């Protein structure tokens, strides 16, 4: 990656042998091949690592025919109810008694009042409704229910 040395008086591209003058001049050309190699390796590393950065609590979401909601610049707040009834905010497990207090503290820091609720398909509807009430009491009025795509359309055309 350093500068090389070329003989004085030569054009550098000529194949003819010239008499050595005894003085060496530094080359002003940079070899970019090692730079390109490093950049390609970094590109491959980031391409492999990017899908691994998605973090979440594993739940079995119900399938519906709904389309995806538009996303904003701010990272969305996600509340998850797992199959055994535990509630997590993003990736932190929270007791139900502390849920409203934590949500109020989070709502004060955020500019968006949108929250996404992920619930396992095995969770009873009354549990989901209670958590939705806690979300509303915590200061979040825009609640999006997260589901998987590919469910029945209920118009006679779906599976």
Among 135, 120, 44, 116, smallest CA distance to 85 is for 120
- Report pLDDT for 4: 59
Evaluate whether 42 touches 34 at the Cβ level (below 8 Å).
no
pLDDT at position 152: 74
pLDDT tier at 56 (50, 70, 90 boundaries)? low
Provide mean pLDDT across the span 9-24.
58
Condensed to tens digits (0 to 9), the pLDDT of residues 91-142 reads 889 998 999 999 999 988 888 888 999 998 889 999 999 999 999 999 888 8
> Of 25-29, 54-58, 119-123, which one has max mean pLDDT?
119-123
Measured CA distances, 40 to 30, 46, 53 (Å): 18, 10, 20
Domain boundaries, the chain: 5-53, 63-149
What's residue 2's pLDDT? Answer: 54
CATH of domain 63-149: 3.30.420.270
Structure-token pair, residue 158: 């779906």
CA 26/CA 17 separation, integer angstroms: 19
């Amino acid at each position: 990656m350093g500068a090389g040395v070329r003989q004085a008086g030569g054009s550098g591209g000529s194949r003819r042998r010239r008499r050595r003058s005894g003085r060496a001049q530094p080359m002003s050309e940079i070899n970019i091949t090692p730079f390109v190699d490093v950049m390609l390796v970094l590109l491959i590393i980031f391409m492999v690592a990017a899908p691994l950065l998605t973090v979440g609590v594993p739940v079995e979401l119900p399938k519906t025919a709904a389309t995806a909601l538009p996303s904003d610049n701010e990272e969305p707040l996600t509340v998850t109810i797992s199959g055994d009834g535990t509630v997590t905010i993003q990736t932190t497990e929270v007791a139900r008694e502390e849920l409203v207090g934590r949500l109020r503290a989070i709502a004060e820091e955020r500019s968006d009042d949108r929250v996404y609720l992920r619930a396992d398909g095995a969770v009873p509807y009354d549990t989901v409704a209670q958590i939705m009430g806690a979300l509303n009491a915590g200061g979040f009025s825009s609640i999006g229910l997260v589901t998987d795509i590919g469910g029945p359309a209920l118009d006679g055309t779906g599976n």
